[in-house]
Structure 1
Amino acid sequence: MDQEREIIVGMKQRVMMVALFAVITSPVCAAKLSGPARILDGNTIEIEQSKLRLSGIEAPETDQICLDAHGRKWACGIAARDELIKHSNGRTWDCHTTGGDEYGRSGGSCFIEGEDVSAWMVRSGWALSSDPSTHTYVIYEVVASKAHAGLWSGAFIAPWDWRRGNKGTIIIGASSVPIDARELLLGSALLSDPPSSECLIKGAVDRNGERIYHLPGQLSYEQLDMTKKPGERWLCSEAEAEATGWRKAAR
């Protein structure tokens, strides 16, 4: 009797999961967007006032620093964003969106004149495949690494590791990794200066776990030491900050 009850319960759960999957993947939850894109970072765009995160890839954060072929630091996150802006060049994007993330962005696959933008980002070395298990874009990583393109021109940290950098973080690259790469990319002094003169907004996580950004001129801005707390970020615009889950400081 107990076994029969377990089978019935299991069948009900399976039916509920199938129904839920049908709702999630139904056209009601999906949308199509078309038009010129405003590029906020290498992962995030805005079309028709809708914010969208490119699916299947991870581009470097705008404050991310990489090392070039000579072991010198460069603002690879800014470069990735700017290369996507140049590639877009005001052309029309066609995006198919589904679901959303904790920051209110839809996920989506986007195309410019039929070309998969995510594939272009990985193939050009400006992003990594975010889900190697699907093998969707992994082959393009191989192409980019062999060509020493973009991030692969030197050494860098995978974007998901950059956000939580610690002693266990792996430094990767197409060829050799400089012996001092870890100190250069994870050293305590790294965040003391912005990666670019345009990225002057300070982002910090408060004691409640809320992501707060502080603008130059605000009282809190001068009080915030960017080398003291984990999770601190330099941000390049209020639009980028708000699209990635940051709230403006009250003062």
Structure 2
Amino acid sequence: MKHRGIMFALIALITSPVFAATLSGAPRILDGNTIQIDKTTVRLSGIEAPETDQICLDAQGRKWACGVAVRDELIKHSNGRTWDCHTERVDEYRRALGSCFIEGEDINAWMVRSGLALSAGASHHTYLVYELAASTAHAGLWSGALIAPWDWPRRNRGTIIVGATSVPVDAQEVLLGSVLLSEPPSPECLIKGTVERRGERIYYLPGQPGYEQIGMTKKRGERWLCSEAEAEATGWRKAVP
């Protein structure tokens, strides 16, 4: 019985959501929230950046591929340098959740301070002061208008538009337009993701059977993805021919 108890304790430890670890290396940046170091996918905790399919409005009220822009700003800031990430647990997509640093600089905080992400989750209070400073300075996303990243996938007529002091009067109409994502946000983001009947998130590569039949404006949950690594890290599965 004693050995059986030890065995069950080990199984519980292995399958526990706790994932305490320290990772170091130059990452592959998949989006403003997600990176990969070696074979481990890390999701920056306490913040929400736009996913690569999100569209915002810039300071002039023009449509702006803010999700791709945020990812590119993070790549630019990283500049091939080594990251140190401290993770504590995993999320529903088996991504390690944690905070990352470049030469001692807190990247989670830098994202919010630069207006490239919003403070969110259990660590909301940790980064809220940076969000207030960024919004006051109209930095990054706060220069125009946007839908909060956590509301973007479920956006509807009741969704609140946030942003600069003077949000364009037609901001909601533009950001909720049915044809908003009929074209990819960037020429590199050509992978189509669609939600099947059973709720399964499937992605199709250009040239795959069924790719051309996905209209990208017909079903809620359809979105453009920029790479297979991004798709798989955020819970999408490749369509089987």
Same fold flag (TM > 0.5): yes
Higher Cα Rg: structure 1 or 2?
1
1:168 shift after superposition: 1.1
1:37 corresponds to which of 27, 49, 53: 27
Equivalent residue for 1:127?
Answer: 117
Equivalent residue for 1:142?
Answer: 132
Equivalent residue for 1:76?
Answer: 66
Deviation per CA, 1:17-72, whole angstroms, max 9, x where unpaired?
Answer: xxxxxx79x9x841110111110000000012100100100000101000011110
User: For the Cα contact (< 8 Å) 1:132–1:138, is it kept in 2?
Assistant: no
Deviation per CA, 1:64-102, whole angstroms, max 9, x where unpaired?
Answer: 000011110010000100000011111110111111111
User: For the Cα contact (< 8 Å) 1:46–1:52, is it kept in 2?
Assistant: yes
Q: How many residues align?
A: 228
SS of aligned partner of 2:94: coil
SS of aligned partner of 1:120: helix
Unaligned runs of 5+ in 2: 1-12
For the residues of structure 2 that align with 1:131 and 1:248, how far apart are their CA atoms?
29
For the residues of structure 1 that align with 2:82 and 2:118, how far apart are their CA atoms?
24
TM-score (norm 2): 0.91
For the residues of structure 2 that align with 1:98 and 1:137, how far apart are their CA atoms?
18
1:132 shift after superposition: 7.4
* 1:110 aligned onto 2:100: yes
Unaligned runs of 5+ in 1: 1-22
Alignment of 1:98-247 (within 5 A): 98-131=88-121, 134-247=124-237
For the residues of structure 2 that align with 1:44 and 1:237, how far apart are their CA atoms?
12
User: For the Cα contact (< 8 Å) 2:45–2:98, is it kept in 1?
Assistant: yes
For the residues of structure 1 that align with 2:28 and 2:73, how far apart are their CA atoms?
13
1:191 shift after superposition: 1.8
Deviation per CA, 1:113-166, whole angstroms, max 9, x where unpaired?
Answer: 101000000000000001377411011111111221110110001000001111
* Aligned residues with identical type, % of pairs: 76
* 1:59 aligned onto 2:10: no
For the residues of structure 1 that align with 2:200 and 2:175, how far apart are their CA atoms?
25
User: For the Cα contact (< 8 Å) 1:30–1:97, is it kept in 2?
Assistant: yes
For the residues of structure 1 that align with 2:83 and 2:58, how far apart are their CA atoms?
31
Q: Which runs of 4+ in 1 moved over 6 A?
A: none
User: For the Cα contact (< 8 Å) 2:32–2:70, is it kept in 1?
Assistant: yes
- Taking only aligned residues, the RMSD between alpha carbons, in angstroms, comes to 1.7
SS of aligned partner of 2:187: coil
Equivalent residue for 2:5?
Answer: none
Deviation per CA, 1:161-192, whole angstroms, max 9, x where unpaired?
Answer: 00111111100012111111111111111121
User: For the Cα contact (< 8 Å) 1:161–1:169, is it kept in 2?
Assistant: yes
Equivalent residue for 1:6?
Answer: none
* 1:48 aligned onto 2:38: yes
